[in-house]
Amino acid sequence: MISMAVDDGIAIISMEHGKANAIDSEFCDALTALFAELRKTTAIKAVVLTGRERMFCAGVDLKRLTAGGADYVTGFLPLLHTLYDAIFFFPKPVIAAINGHAIAGGAVLAACADRRVMAAESGRVGITELQVGVPLPALAFEIVRAAVPPRHLSEVALGAGTYETAEALAKGWVDEVVDGWELMPRAKRLARAYAALSPEAFAQTKAQIRQPVADAYAAHGEATDEAVTAIWKTDATLRRVTVYVAKTLTKVSNGSGSMH
């Protein structure tokens, strides 16, 4: 599901959960636990998070969601929140090495990082939740708000589109685009550069950068999540998700891909 290698104090985390790194309850638990452990491990100075082949993360496992229904949603959404919280507020440097598609919850996962580097022409990035028929949970939305420039926020959230690497860079989804062969070397160089800084000063500065997200969630996150969960759980929403999954699978079988 997840593998990790350590390179001179840098933890290289590779997501390897099925073909798409689709986010389900077990994935949330495993990645959250790993970041909790790395938070306490003084030998680890920074983290690089990546996927495999042409998939960083395709977002929430919608097939699992529709199969589990409202009961699964009730248990899953708090786990998703905890995962994003563990990575976004991780006090050490986190670099996302985006090797391919980062869609919906996968785009949010990438946005949790301090810097996002993407391999050129490797895939698409964007939050497609409104295409599926669900709103983003409170913390996920605040993370997107923090990552995407304000002038693009309405477009990326309400338009629910995905962007090729060059446009993803222009919209603020990623910080830089490099050739595929350069992705991991560049991510490791960034991780080492941040790791060389004072850990205490880095953690404090990062906390200050993240503070508006924490404040926004504290102010209205609980009420927002209550409303979001209610929408995710309705029969009408679950039917929309089922239709979306069926259409997506049809596109895949026709060779047109699932990320467009």
| CB-count exposure of residue 222 (10 Å: 0-12, 13-18, 19+) | exposed
Domains and CATH numbers, the chain: 2-183+190-195 (3.90.226.10)
Backbone angles phi, psi at 161, to 5 degrees: -95, 170
The answer to whether the CB of 62 falls within 8 A of the CB of 238 is no
d(CA 181, CA 160): 30
Which residue intervals of 165-198 are DSSP H helices? Answer: 165-171, 183-195
The answer to whether the CB of 165 falls within 8 A of the CB of 122 is yes
The predicted model scores a pTM of: 0.94
For the chain, the straight-line distance linking the first and the last C-alpha, in angstroms and rounded, comes to 26
Pairing of strands 115-119, 94-98: parallel
pLDDT, one tens digit for every residue, the chain (260 residues): 999 999 999 999 999 999 999 999 999 999 999 999 999 999 999 999 999 999 999 999 999 999 999 999 999 999 999 999 999 999 999 999 999 999 999 999 999 999 999 999 999 999 999 999 999 999 999 999 999 999 999 999 999 999 999 999 999 999 999 999 999 999 999 999 999 999 999 999 999 999 999 999 999 999 999 999 999 999 999 999 999 999 876 554 343 333 33
